[in-house]
Structure formats: C-alpha cells, structure tokens
C-alpha cells in the first residue's frame, strides 16, 4: 500500500485512535488533513470506528497542554503510568503526547531520582556499608544511582563484591530446595511447603518489573520485611505497599518483630491454606 506523505502507519494510527482514544478530528488536526481523510485511512487499515460520543473529549477527558505535560514529566518527574492514571488513558498514550508537543522524553533515571542530584558514597562509607552486609542494589537506591555504578566503584576501590543481598549474599536452604536470603524467609518458605502451598520465589510485581516480592501464592504476594533502620529499605517497603494498594494487589506483610518468641508470625498465612487447594509434599 502506497503511503501518503505524512500518513501514519497502521499501528500508529490504531494506537492513537483505540488506545489514546483521540477523535478523528483531533487526528486530522495532528496530521493536517480533514477528519474524513482519517476515516478513509482507518477503513483502508481495517480499523473499526467506535460509536459516536466515545472519544476523549466526549468522555470528558481533556489531554494536558504542552506546558502541563512538560511540567508533569520534567518538573514533577512523574512516570508514564502516573500521568496516564490522571487522564484515564493507557500509559502508551504518554510518549505519543510528548512526540506531538515535541517534548523530549525523560531518561528513566530522571524519573526515578525525581530531579534529585545523585550522591556517590565516599570510599569509607562504601566499605562500611558493604562490610555491614548491605547489597549493591540497596546502596545504589539510597544514593540515586544504578547498581552498576556501585559495583564499578567497589571494583575500583577493591571493596569485596559478594553475591548481592543482605548478609553478604548468604543463602539458607529450605526444605523444598529453595534458597532463602534470611532465616525469616526460610521459616516462611518451609511453612508454605509444610502446608502444601505451591509458591514462587522472588516473583516480579505485575505493576512494575523492577519490584520483586519474596513469595507469591496464587494471586497473593508475600513480603518478609527483615531489615530495620535503613532509610533506603524503609522507602522501598513503603513504595511497594503503596503500589500494591493502588493496583489492588493482595499483599501479606510479615515483619521481623513478628518472629519474636511466643508470637504467631504465621497467622497472616492461615487464610491462604483455607482459600487455595493444597498439595501435601511431605
């Protein structure tokens, strides 16, 4: 099919019409043609026109202006999903809006750092934190840099790099063959095994692949919060809990203090054994 100058390809037009929910008139203004031309392009591409009254404007949704969008992305450093949630559109609409207004796309680290200047730890601080068993990932998150930056710095300063994780990366063997990162996680893993609950170790959350839980049983995620007095860990914990709440993710939290003698740390897990079919493994 011969492309008309300025005419978008099928996938671009489909995304703008079906995902971004732009109207044919808005698309016509974008491409400098009449809305009836957009209709002809859609027919040629096999894109079905929606019923009248279902576009963004007719849904009462007003896309951000160029100034508003620039502030959201480069001023407030919001991610695509956060912006999309404000306007009730799919997050894939945001890069199209940026392109439409000729606004440069943000670097992923600009968004993560929220405009803060990254802080490189001093050699003494790095040696102390690594000696204490803190992972390269945790140090990187607290300093606003990526994990590779910390690893490279460790190598330059000849600071030992163990398997990532707390306790120098030490792992504890579970009854089902899994390896736990702490004695607390080992107890949870063994409890799930003993009660016949199939479980996934370190599953990624559906809302953001950068975040992982400790376990997943069915659609329920389990976090064993085993670190205290660490700002980076505390912030990441708060972020996970907030995101699970916002995305209606079923989360069970078990804090390290619940493992104290006499406390029934396993009580939050009881409902799983009541709701999910079990398999006796022993």
pLDDT digits (tens, 9 = 90+) for 54-101: 556 666 678 889 889 888 888 888 888 888 888 887 777 788 888 888
Q: Give the C-alpha separation, 19 to 62, whole Å.
A: 15
pTM of the model: 0.42
171-275: CATH topology: Endonuclease; Chain A (3.40.960)
Return the exposure string of 154-181: e unless at least 16 CB atoms fall within 10 Å of the residue's CB, then b: beeeebeeeeebbbeeeebebeeebebb
Tokens of 235: 């912030």
Intervals of CATH 3.40.960 along the chain: 171-275
Contact 252, 220 (CB under 8 A): yes
Reduce the DSSP state of residue 52 to 3 states and report it: coil
| 3-state SS assignment for residue 224 | strand
pLDDT at 165 over 50: no
Hey, what are 212's tokens?
């992982």
User: Is residue 10 classed as helix, strand or coil in its secondary structure?
Assistant: helix
- Phi first, then psi: what are they for 3, rounded to 5°? -85, 130
Hey, which of 32-36, 47-51, 132-136 has the most confident mean pLDDT?
32-36
Q: Rounded to an integer, what distance in angstroms lies between the CA atom of residue 189 and that of residue 254? A: 13
**Cα(17)–Cα(15) distance, integer angstroms:** 5
Percent share of the chain, pLDDT over 70: 82
Q: What is the pLDDT of residue 133?
A: 67
Distance linking the first and last C-alpha atoms of the chain: 63
Instruction: Tell me which residue of 239, 279, 237, 277 sits closest to 254, measured CA to CA.
Output: 237
Work out the average pLDDT over 227-252: 86
pLDDT of residue 132 exceeding 60: yes
């Amino acid at each position: 099919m011969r492309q008309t100058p300025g005419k978008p390809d099928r996938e671009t037009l489909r995304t703008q019409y079906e995902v971004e929910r732009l109207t044919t008139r808005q698309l016509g203004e974008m491409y400098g043609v009449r809305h009836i031309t957009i209709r002809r392009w859609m027919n040629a591409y096999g894109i079905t026109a929606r019923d009248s009254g279902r576009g963004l404007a007719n849904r009462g949704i007003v896309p951000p202006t160029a100034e508003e969008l620039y502030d959201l992305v480069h001023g407030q450093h919001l991610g695509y999903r956060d912006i999309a949630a404000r306007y009730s559109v799919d997050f894939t609409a945001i890069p199209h809006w940026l392109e439409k207004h000729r606004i440069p796309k943000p670097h992923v680290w600009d968004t993560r750092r929220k405009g803060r200047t990254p802080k490189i730890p001093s050699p003494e601080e790095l040696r102390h934190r690594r000696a204490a068993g803190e992972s390269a990932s945790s140090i990187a998150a607290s300093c606003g840099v990526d994990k590779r930056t910390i690893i490279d710095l460790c190598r330059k300063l000849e600071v030992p790099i163990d398997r990532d994780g707390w306790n120098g990366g030490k792992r504890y063997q579970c009854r089902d063959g899994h390896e736990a990162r702490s004695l607390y996680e080992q107890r949870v893993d063994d409890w799930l095994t003993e009660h016949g609950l199939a479980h996934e170790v370190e599953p990624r959350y559906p809302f953001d692949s950068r975040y992982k839980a400790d376990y997943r049983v069915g659609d329920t995620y389990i976090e064993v919060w085993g670190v205290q007095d660490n700002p980076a860990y505390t912030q990441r914990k708060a972020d996970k809990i907030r995101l699970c709440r916002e995305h209606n993710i079923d989360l069970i939290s078990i804090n390290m203090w619940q493992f104290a003698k006499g406390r029934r740390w396993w009580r939050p897990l009881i409902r799983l054994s009541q709701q999910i079919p079990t398999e006796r493994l022993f």
